[in-house]
Structure 1
Amino acid sequence: MFERRAVPLLPDAGRCQVMGVVNVTPDSFSDGGRWLDAEDAVRRGIALVESGADIVDVGGESTRPGAQRVDAATELARVEPVVRALSERGVVVSVDTMRAEVAERAVAAGARIINDVSGGLADPDILQVAARTGVPYVVMHWRGHSARMQDEDATAYADLVPDVVAELRRSVEAALAAGVRPEQVVVDPGIGFSKRGDQNWTVLSHLAAFAELGYPLLVAASRKRFLGELLAEPDGVLRDPLHREAATLAVTALTAAAGAWAIRVHEVPDNADAVRVAERWRRG
């Protein structure tokens, strides 16, 4: 276990926060197409809050392995109305984007967090947006876009955990140099991004090394492929994403008990219960 750091710019319930996902995309690995319509996405976001989410993370571009990028106009058209509508209803909204333009427009529409899976590497101008707006900024470990992030060179490490920590530290330092304040920074070890199955388990078992960076920690493992691999059938067929929820709950409980600031999940009610159990466990 390690100290759970809160984000001072956001409300805090004294436990691991639950970030519910709304993918306004046709091609996300778990729920692509279900919330592509803006009204459906808003209803989904409200439902997540009503079932226990503290934050709703709205994304308009799939970052699943192999996904192709959409243009900024498409991404904006997907996320901006959803962010605005949820924010007007008092929801704490996070925008999941790698683009400065999308981040700036989303914050103007009411988003209170920028969740950048590239950690500023895809579009360095996003660092100035984070600095200028002053909202919390999630810096994730990233080595390249979805189309190539699982290539052999992208998943090669001399020493996995120290390498990922060092690369994350460099991204945080770049953000600070751009004017992002330390109290805005959240770090994410990037489960599933440029990491193969066993590498994800190694990262999860060493979360304390990432906490030593000194920032709140977000972990996003919900339904990802490494869980499907663990639960694969004897013939090697992976467990379907929609049937990885029990495994996700186990990761949520362990991550929350370890001291993470937040977990990012597709389904909220049982995960919200899991973080409450974990917090009670931490208090003994």
Structure 2
Amino acid sequence: MMQSQSNPIHATRQPLIMGVVNVTPDSFSDGGFFFSTENAIKQARKLIEEGADILDVGGESTRPGSLPVSVDEELRRVIPVIEALAGEKTLISVDTSKPEVMRQAIIAGVDIINDVNALRNSGALAVLAENDRVLACLMHMQGCPASMQNNPTYHNIVQEVYDFLEERIQLITTLGVARDRLIIDPGFGFGKTLQHNFEILNNLEYFTRLQTPLMVGISRKSMLGAVTGNPANRRIHESVAAALIAVNNGARIVRVHDVKATKDALSFYCAVQKNNDIK
């Protein structure tokens, strides 16, 4: 586990890869294949070998239409996995909106809280404020997972998502949390239509004005299938393409399922960028 008083993401200019570890029976991307603790740990170590910089461990599905699980059940799913991975050099993230899960995950060894609800649940901000070595990713979501895709509407999608994230950053920093402990995520597919997702992706650079590392999670999502027609578990090529577009448009972290393919593509992308810089 990496101990730090500041955001280790600032320590490198290279884009970082967050590998997804779903400890759920109803994940849209893997059909619950890694639901058991043993399989989840094996998958996590495989992603480390493939080059993941961060592992994101989640025990509650947030796919469209999903329903929440109890705190006890979520803890039962994620804590053994986090404890098993805490000795790795790779940063460990917990994908949760529940303050008690955040608190127990920090004790178990996580470095990052990845919250699709941007720390809006009662008690979540206090957990972050009380643990000054932990980072937090704030994501935008319109509505809740159970109903977020029921006709989401915006007047100006890019500006509204930007304003939401800016407000959350300002509120959290007024509590004494250093700005460099925060990461932002515009929340692709979370209360957004296909057109909304395209508008955000094409305007990602606008979010860099917030001067906070930008994370993007498009891997295997339905917006990709809407274009190619492929099912979730066969969207590797379009997922890699989306990750490259995101990085080119300003993302510092890409949250992906297919780490090796993304790592190889980004390695070549970075080599080309480095060659351009030399010229």
Per the TM superposition, whether the score is higher than 0.5 is yes
Q: By how many angstroms is 1:282 displaced?
A: 2.8
Q: Which residue of 2 aligns with 1:144?
A: 143
> Which whole-Å CA distance do the structure 1 matches of 2:203 and 2:89 have between them?
35
Matches within 5 A, 1:244-263: 244-263=235-254
Aligned-CA RMSD value: 1.5
Q: Map Cα deviations across residues 93-124 of structure 1 (whole Å, 9 max, x no partner).
A: 10000011101110110000000111122x13
8 Å CA contact 1:257, 1:275 repeated in 2:
no
2:180 corresponds to 1:183: yes
1:128 and 2:126 are equivalent in the alignment: yes
8 Å contact from structure 2 (residues 57, 82) kept in 1: yes
**How many correspondences in the alignment?**
269
Q: Is the 8 A contact 1:141 1:167 kept in 2?
A: yes
Distance change in 2, residues 1:259/1:159 (3 Å): closer
Unaligned runs of 5+ in 2: none
Q: Does structure 1 retain, via aligned residues, the 8 Å contact 2:137–2:184?
A: yes
Q: What is the percentage of aligned positions where both structures have the same residue?
A: 38
Q: Please name the residue that 2:265 is paired with.
A: 274
Partner of 2:191: 194
Helix, strand or coil at the partner of 1:212: helix
Question: What is the DSSP-based 3-state SS (H/G/I as helix, E as strand, rest coil) of the residue aligned with 1:88?
Answer: coil
| Separation of aligned partners in 2, 1:147 and 1:110 | 30
CA shift, 1:200, in A, is 0.4
Question: How far apart, in 2, do the equivalents of 1:212 and 1:127 lie?
Answer: 23
Give the counterpart letter for 1:125 in structure 2. Answer: G
Higher mean C-alpha displacement, 187-196 vs 141-150: 141-150
The residue number in structure 2 matching 1:114 is: 113
Ranges in structure 1 where 5+ consecutive residues have no aligned partner: 1-6, 233-238
Q: Per the alignment, do residues 142 and 178 of structure 1 end up closer, same or farther by CA in structure 2, a change over 3 Å counting?
A: farther
Aligned to 1:235: none
Q: Which residue identity lines up with residue 219 of structure 1 in the other structure?
A: V
Distance 1:150 1:171 in 2: 23
Inter-partner Cα distance in structure 2 for 1:247 and 1:189 = 19
SS at match of 1:93: strand
> In 1, are the aligned partners of 2:185 and 2:215 still within 8 Å (CA)?
yes
Shift of residue 175 of structure 1?
1.9
**C-alpha displacement at 1:35, in angstroms?**
1.0
> Counterpart amino acid of 2:261?
D
2: CA distance, partners of 1:282 / 1:217? 19
Is 1:143–1:194's contact at 8 Å kept on the other side of the alignment?
yes
Q: Which residue of 1 aligns with 2:171?
A: 174
Residue 28 of structure 1 contacts residue 62 of structure 1 at CA under 8 Å; is this kept in 2? yes
2:210 is paired with a residue of what secondary structure?
coil
CA contact (8 A) 2:52 2:90 kept: no
Q: Distance in 1 between matches of 2:22 and 2:166?
A: 28
CA contact (8 A) 2:142 2:192 kept: no
Distance in 2 of aligned mates of 1:124 and 1:172: 17
- What are the superposed Cα offsets for residues 9-38 of structure 1, whole Å, 9 maximum, x if unpaired? 326453100100000000111113111111
- Once the two structures are TM-superposed, the CA of residue 180 in structure 1 deviates from its matched residue by 2.1
Output the CA distance in 2 between the equivalents of 1:185 and 1:91: 18
Distance 1:206 1:264, change over 3 A: same
> Do structure 1's residue 22 and structure 2's residue 21 form an aligned pair?
yes
Spell out the pairing of 1:154-173 with structure 2 (5 A cutoff): 155-173=152-170
**Structure 1 residue 8 displacement after superposition:** 4.5
Shift of residue 127 of structure 1?
1.3
What is the CA-CA distance between 1:66 and the residue it aligns to? 0.2
1:191-230 matches, within 5 Å, as: 191-230=188-227
Asked whether the 8 Å contact 2:203–2:249 carries over to 1, the reply is no
1-structure distance, mates of 2:68, 2:31: 14
1:240 to 231, 240, 243: 231
